[in-house]
Structure 1
Amino acid sequence: MQTAEIKRRFLAHFAAHGHTVVPSAPLPAISDPNLLFINAGMVQFVPFFLGQRTPPYATAASVQKCIRTPDIDEVGKTSRHGTFFQMNGNFSFGDYFKADAIRLAWELSTKPVADGGFGLDPEKIWATVYLDDDEAYALWRGIGLPESRIVRRGKKDNFWSMGIPGPAGPCSELYYDRGPAYGPDGGPEVDEDRYLEFWNLVFMQHEITDVTSKEDFTIVGDLPKQNIDTGMGLERMASILQGVDNLYEIDEVRPILARAAELTGKVYGKQSGHAASESHADDVRLRVIADHVRTALMLIGDGVTPSNEGRGYVLRRIMRRAIRAMRLLGWHDRALPELLPIARDCMSPSYPELAADFERISQIAYGEEDTFLGTLRAGTTILDTAIADTKSSGGAQLSGAKAFQLHDTYGFPIDLTLEIAAEQGLAVDADGFRALMAEQRARAKADAKARKTGHADLSQYRAVLDANGPTTWLAYETLETESKVLAVLPGAGDIVTVFLDRTPFYAESGGQDSDAGLLTGPNLKAEIIDVQRPVKGLIAHAVRILDGTITTGDTVHAAVDPEWRTGARQAHSGTHIVHAALRHVLGPTALQSGSYNRPGYLRLDFAWRGGLSDATRSEVEEVANLAIRRDLPVGVRYVPLDQARAEGALALFGETYDDTVRVVEIGGDWSRELCGGTHVDRSAQIGSLAVTGESSVGAGQRRIEAVTGIEAFRYLARERDLVGRLAAQLKSRPEELPDRVAALLARMKQVEKEAETLRDRLVDLDAEDFAANAVDVDGIAYVGVTTTGDGKRLAEKVRQRLGNRPGVIGVIAGAGIVVTVTPAAAERGLSAAGLIKQLLAGRGGGNDAFAQGRATGDPADLLVRLRDLTRTA
């Protein structure tokens, strides 16, 4: 049974039993500050379980895309570790409980394939329950499971919590016996390879506190409502139903692995036995490739782009591990153009949007691979230099600091550093590297901890919402309201958070900054400095009190600054117009991946490889302004999400949308996007638009910036004034400025070249004079001088002038000293590095021919001591 069919059957089974089918949330966990990615099927339902939001349905079912990366280094080493996986789940929010959860799971698992089930052999299914969960035990006995196949286990295995105070409860896990070929008899406690867990039923019935670990907490009572949260691993069920060993061999993964093996000439699983295959180095690398390429496809598909922080860093690391694994298997060409289309074909039956959006996805992926291949070349050069310096100084070990720098700054893999160093006969200070990595992880954890607000932080907002109901939000209808103050939460200094029964203020969302304005009353004057939606349905106003006080129950006049809103509308509509102009000029793959706009300013990130030429940038700007000049109508419609997508409305990657969405159209289908922002009524109201910059924000990602309205006029006026002043200074007409400036630059380069030639000649004359007047020190020609020029260059010139004579040259330039010896002196045992270390008490460095360090003390004294060292050497 194909994986897509397993997914379809799961959702159909629960839909037939009254569950609402909920689409998977995007992989980036945008709504949860504690997570980078969705890592479990229940994450999007957490606010319902915690009571922060009222669920719109009593029961639900979903197949959630998930990412787990804490054990990324273990991927491929066993059959259990993978980064991307899919979790089938059914959920009850105070509706059914244990009996129905167990019945529904058993029915789907054992129902014949012909009847829409999975057709598992009931005689091969085992169940585990929590130690004292006699109710679950009895229910499984009632289903027909014998006592011999029901196992009681402790908190570590069969008690679930989120790791924080809140809901928790016992769980029951289902295992499938894959037979003696996979391990010994005896059930899950004996061998969890043979007995493969495929479904976990969580009975959320308790409230816990004093949580210090998974097994250390206090149960303070039962929840007001009992909930169900289940998770059935889609990949695990696929491996069972497809009769394969592990997740790497199912239909959504194996073709990627097979193509990698074909390209590299490797044979997967060539050693006998499951354990042997897992430990074979080539098999591990092939598994890494298959897993990581699929994961990269899914992450980019959900709007993540490679970068050096956060989600983008995880994606970059995953992609580079896959590319590196291909190189270790002997493939040195571009790998992703060979592998990513295979992953697309594997996953598009379940996620057809991947095929529709593949051109954008592939552009980002291939651009990142090209960048990394350049990194490998640059890193190899840096590593070669470090190895040469280590060997020339007599060292046998590359420092951990250098290995960490290569890894952290240049993205150069540590395993490649180890491999290349070993080829050159050097070890690497692995302990030092690991210590620096540990420090980095500690900093990252501290940062993550600092970012964690915890779900409990929302309780104060939830209390306001529960007590007063949702805010009546009128930002689309009016700029002013008479409002009642529902609650005031204290803040820092003169800033408080205010909740109103109705508000005209736009809350920051969809890339648009929040409104500015005033709250006024008989005894109040306060400015709005921020507006947010901390929980769905509630608007929170950050307010700075300018005069008077504000208390619950007050009636206030809420007024948006009309100039602010006008500028915001111009900028947001301008963002849509720039997006449409980019797609008009560059093609449909130039899709927005993020945006930000405030009054008079906008920026838009989009998928594209390579910078835009001046001509292309000008064309985008012209297309945008022509659309503004045409005075296109701007319309808003509310339609079902499926209808909006069918009509070609563009959505922002990574965003979650309700079933009914707001579609903003400019000129009908000229620009059609899902958007919750405020907009002008007709495009001409934008005034004008000027592109101010275009830059890279990551591999395959560009950023365009622009100003609109009065800010565009001011920008163009400044540009005009600047051109006018330059033209006056250069005594040229404005249109002649480019040629005039180019001529001046060419002349400057010529003058610099002539000056450099003159400097070289002067150094040559000095070097000739110094060499001719070298002091004889026991048969060694010694030259010790100071200079205001380039000490290294002068030392090298003197060395050349000494020719075949044994000689030592010391040159002090500023705060640095350079020491070099001629080949004839080196044959006598003189070493530049040795001399400078003696001279500077161990400081300084270099090789036998050339060394340098910091000149401390009197320069004349240093040169005399160098002469004496030459004699004693």
Structure 2
Amino acid sequence: MRTAEIKRRYLAHFEAHGHAVVPSAPLPAVGDPNLLFVAAGMVQFVPYFLGQQTPPYATATSVQKCIRTPDIDEVGKTSRHGTFFQMNGNFSFGDYFKADAIPLAWELSTKPIDQGGFGLDPERIWATVYLDDDEAIDIWKRTGLPADRIVRRGRSDNFWSMGIPGPAGPCSELYYDRGPAYGAEGGPEVDEDRYLEFWNLVFMQYEIADVVSKEDFRIVGDLPARNIDTGMGLERMASLLQGVDNLYEIDEVRPILSRAAELTGKTYGVHSGPAAAQSHPDDVRLRVIADHVRTALMLIGDGVTPANEGRGYVLRRIMRRAIRAMRLLGWHGRALPELLPVARDCMAPSYPELAKEFDRIEQTAYGEEETFLGTLRAGTTILDTAIAETRAAGRSAITGEKAFQLHDTYGFPIDLTLEIADEQGLDVDADGFRALMAEQRARAKARKTGHADLSAYRTVLDAHGPTDWLAYETLETESRVLAVWGAGEIVTVALDRSPFYAESGGQDSDAGLLTGPNLRAEVIDVQRPIKNLIAHTVRILDGTIAVGDTVHAQVDPEWRTGARQAHSGTHVVHAALRQVLGPGALQSGSYNRPGYLRLDFAWRGGLSDATRSEVEEVANLAIRRDLPVGVRYLPLDQARAEGALALFGETYDETVRVVEIGGDWSRELCGGTHVDRSAQIGSLAITGEQSVGAGQRRIEAVTGIEAFRYLARERDLVGRLAAQLKARPEELPERVTALLARMKQVEREAGDLRDRILDLDVAEYTAGALDLGGITYVGVTTTGDGRKLAEKVRDRFGNRPAVIGVIAGSGAVVATTPAAAERGLSAADLVKQLLSGRGGGNDAFAQGKATGSPAELLTRLRDLVAAA
């Protein structure tokens, strides 16, 4: 039974029992600061379990995409660890509990396949329960499971939580006996390879806190209602129903592994039995490749892009581990173009959007591989040297300084340094590396902010509450000074209310003034160093500022106008890119200030002049249409459902600000300031387009009066060129093309003339050759190309033994004919003797830096030839 069919049957079973079918949440966890990725099927339902929100349904079912990375280094070493997996779940929010959850799981597991079930043999199913959960034991017995196949287990096995504060509860797990070929008899406590866990029923009734470990936590109390959270591992069930040993052999994974084996010439699985640890290096690497390529596909599909921190770093790490594993297996070509399409074909039956968006996915993936291969070449050479030096010094660990240099200078990630060092039997001073990284971050933070430390900000926030931030409503406020940090001309100020936009979402901060009876200060930067507090960096122009002062805060209206034009222009360019290039051209970053914008987007290869012009035209047509620009505040799920574009990797609140231009023509989550109608942008001119990384392009543009000035400069330049060339503006391309062609012709003619002159010189030098005991010698000086002259003179002597020496400026060149080499005369040896060991080359040609008199050098070379 294919994995997609298992998924379909699961959802159909619970939908038939009244459960609402809920789509999988995206892999990037939203709204939970403790999680990078969704790691369990119940994550999107946590607010319902905690009673923080009212669920729109009493019961639900889903198949949730999940990522778990804490044990990423164990992936491939066993047949059970994987980073990406799918969790089938059914949930009750205060509706049913154990008495219904247990029979529902039993029914689907044992119901015959031709009746829509999974057809597992009930005689081979075991259950575990929490130590004192007599209720669950009684229900299992009534369901039909005999007492001798029900096992009591402790907290580490049968008490479930996410590993962080939140909902939790005792659980009951289902295991399937795969038979004596997989291990010893006796149930899950004896052998969890033979007895494979496939379903976990969590009876969620507590809230926990102070989580130290799986067994060390504090139960805060009961949840508002008793809930059910069950999880059936989709990959586990697929391995059972497809009759394979593990998750690497199911239909969604094995084709990737097989393709990797085919490319590298390896044979998978010949080194270990079905129930063994399977730790042969070749098998481990093939499993790493299969798991990581599939995981990368799913992450990029959900909008994650490679980066140096957060979710993007996890993606970058797993991609690089897969690419390096292929190289260690002997494949030195591009790996992902061979493997990612296989993963797409495996996963598309369950997730058809992967096929629709594969252009975008492959651009991101292939660009990252291209970048990493360059990093790998440079960094591995340096690391190999470091390993050799470490061993030569008798040390067992690479220094933190060397690991930091590899990371900081060569972009070589620390996890790869650790991995390669481990393969070589060495440690790495990870503590020293982390200390150097912390110092670097501290310096960068100090350079960037120039603000007080965070504790000082928190003190103000705790004492006075959040800044009354009015940037959307007004350009000026009467404000009270709450705190002043620093002394001298430039200080940082906190106000009780502020009209200034704080730098965020790619938009630069506002400029303006703070004024009072004894104050005139220029606002030069505005930041939000901690949530809900605005910090203003100001330059004191006149007077003083002190806590308790009342000041007039005034945003520069021209600055704000330009900023609004640029930020709305960014949205317009983004929409135009997607209209021209397709939905794969997703924004990955932006920056805008008054009159200027830049937008980074996912794309491989530069844009042609025609494409760039088309994007610019689409943007300006939208501006000319005077589209309405509106702002709505919506629940995050509703905003996504309506197609609002979010910057992946960003964390958003449950209620988000949606900026729309022309309704659904452009709809994005955004906290910036914008024009009221698109025509207020004025005009937009694209000024540049370039690469800023693997699979990433950047467009720069100007808006409003800056666009006018840019076009005016272009017009002036064209006018001056036209005047100089005595041509109309429209004739300039043809005239410049003709001029370039003429320049090339002149250069060719000049080159021909130089060659003719050189031929005359060669004839003269050849005629003046010396015979030194049967070896012809020519020594000359020149101000031209010494190498070319030496080669031309040498060619004149054909099969005769000859040595030619040329001093050209500060360089010495020696050339020999093959016949001279047969007589034992090597150009490389002669150069080294001539230049006291410096210089290099081969028997036929060598050169080096000359010092001393040209005449003396040529005389010495003549003597060396004569003595040979």
Q: TM-score, normalised by structure 1?
A: 0.70
Pair 1:283–1:316, CA change in 2 (3 A): closer
Match of 1:549 in 2: 545
The match for 2:523 among 518, 524, 527 is 527
Displacement of 1:282 after TM fit? 6.2
Q: Is residue 294 from structure 1 mapped to residue 321 from structure 2 by the alignment?
A: no
Q: Secondary structure at the match of 2:509?
A: coil
Pair 1:512–1:175, CA change in 2 (3 A): farther
- 1:541-595 CA-partner distances (Å, limit 9, x unpaired): 24225142332x5544333221121111101111122222223333444333332
Q: Is residue 787 from structure 1 mapped to residue 782 from structure 2 by the alignment?
A: yes
Displacement of 1:190 after TM fit? 9.4
Letter in 1 for 2:331: L
Q: Secondary structure at the match of 2:708?
A: helix
Match of 1:480 in 2: 476
Paired with 2:576 and 2:771, the residues of 1 have a C-alpha distance of 76
Match of 1:752 in 2: 747
- 1:92-112 CA-partner distances (Å, limit 9, x unpaired): xxxx9xxxx999999999897
The match for 1:835 among 830, 834, 841 is 830
Q: Is the 8 A contact 2:10 2:88 kept in 1?
A: no
5 Å matches for 1:164-243? 181-182=181-182
Paired with 2:837 and 2:338, the residues of 1 have a C-alpha distance of 48
The match for 1:450 among 424, 440, 453 is 440
Q: Secondary structure at the match of 1:612?
A: coil
5 Å matches for 1:606-685? 606-685=601-680
Paired with 2:805 and 2:346, the residues of 1 have a C-alpha distance of 62
Unaligned stretches of 5+ residues in structure 1: 49-53, 129-135, 384-400, 416-429
Letter in 1 for 2:808: A
Letter in 2 for 1:793: K
Paired with 2:528 and 2:579, the residues of 1 have a C-alpha distance of 34
Q: Indicate the RMSD between aligned Cα atoms, in angstroms.
A: 6.1
Q: Is the 8 A contact 2:78 2:277 kept in 1?
A: no
Paired with 1:302 and 1:141, the residues of 2 have a C-alpha distance of 41
Pair 1:774–1:316, CA change in 2 (3 A): farther
Q: Is residue 540 from structure 1 mapped to residue 534 from structure 2 by the alignment?
A: yes
Letter in 2 for 1:668: G
Letter in 1 for 2:67: C
Q: Is the 8 A contact 2:834 2:857 kept in 1?
A: yes
Match of 1:303 in 2: 303
Paired with 1:435 and 1:711, the residues of 2 have a C-alpha distance of 60
Q: Is the 8 A contact 1:269 1:277 kept in 2?
A: no
Q: Is the 8 A contact 1:510 1:676 kept in 2?
A: yes
Displacement of 1:489 after TM fit? 7.0
Q: Is the 8 A contact 2:566 2:595 kept in 1?
A: yes
5 Å matches for 1:765-804? 765-804=760-799
Figure out how many residues of one structure are paired with residues of the other and give that number: 788
Letter in 2 for 1:869: L
Paired with 2:577 and 2:695, the residues of 1 have a C-alpha distance of 15
Match of 2:815 in 1: 820
5 Å matches for 1:240-639? 244-258=244-258, 268-270=268-270, 273-274=273-274, 278=278, 283-284=283-284, 286-305=286-305, 311=313, 314=317, 317=320, 320-321=323-324, 328=331, 335-336=338-339, 338-345=341-348, 348=351, 353-365=353-365, 446-447=436-437, 450-451=440-441, 464-485=460-481, 488=483, 490=485, 497-524=492-519, 525=521, 527-532=523-528, 534-535=530-531, 538-546=532-540, 547-551=543-547, 553-639=548-634
Pair 1:360–1:752, CA change in 2 (3 A): same
Letter in 2 for 1:361: I
Unaligned stretches of 5+ residues in structure 2: 139-146, 224-228, 382-401, 447-452
Q: Is the 8 A contact 2:477 2:552 kept in 1?
A: yes
Q: Is the 8 A contact 1:252 1:347 kept in 2?
A: no
Paired with 2:849 and 2:671, the residues of 1 have a C-alpha distance of 61
Displacement of 1:690 after TM fit? 0.8
Q: Is the 8 A contact 2:336 2:366 kept in 1?
A: no
Q: Secondary structure at the match of 2:530?
A: coil
Q: TM-score, normalised by structure 2?
A: 0.71
Letter in 2 for 1:450: Q
Paired with 1:668 and 1:265, the residues of 2 have a C-alpha distance of 54
Match of 2:67 in 1: 66
Displacement of 1:515 after TM fit? 2.2
Pair 1:544–1:236, CA change in 2 (3 A): farther
Greater CA drift, 283-292 or 829-838: 283-292
Greater CA drift, 856-865 or 684-693: 856-865
Match of 1:764 in 2: 759
Paired with 2:725 and 2:716, the residues of 1 have a C-alpha distance of 14
Displacement of 1:707 after TM fit? 0.3
Pair 1:262–1:802, CA change in 2 (3 A): closer
Match of 2:144 in 1: none
Paired with 1:732 and 1:175, the residues of 2 have a C-alpha distance of 85
Pair 1:639–1:330, CA change in 2 (3 A): closer
Displacement of 1:780 after TM fit? 2.1
Q: Secondary structure at the match of 1:481?
A: strand
Displacement of 1:327 after TM fit? 7.8
- 1:574-619 CA-partner distances (Å, limit 9, x unpaired): 1122222223333444333332222111122233343222222222
Greater CA drift, 192-201 or 804-813: 192-201
Pair 1:510–1:870, CA change in 2 (3 A): same
Match of 1:393 in 2: none
Letter in 2 for 1:358: F
Pair 1:410–1:659, CA change in 2 (3 A): closer
Displacement of 1:704 after TM fit? 1.6
Paired with 2:804 and 2:244, the residues of 1 have a C-alpha distance of 72
Letter in 1 for 2:291: D
Paired with 2:781 and 2:117, the residues of 1 have a C-alpha distance of 89
Pair 1:657–1:373, CA change in 2 (3 A): closer
Letter in 1 for 2:610: A
Q: Is residue 852 from structure 1 mapped to residue 858 from structure 2 by the alignment?
A: no
Q: Secondary structure at the match of 2:553?
A: strand
Displacement of 1:794 after TM fit? 1.6
Q: Is the 8 A contact 1:593 1:607 kept in 2?
A: yes
Paired with 1:473 and 1:153, the residues of 2 have a C-alpha distance of 48
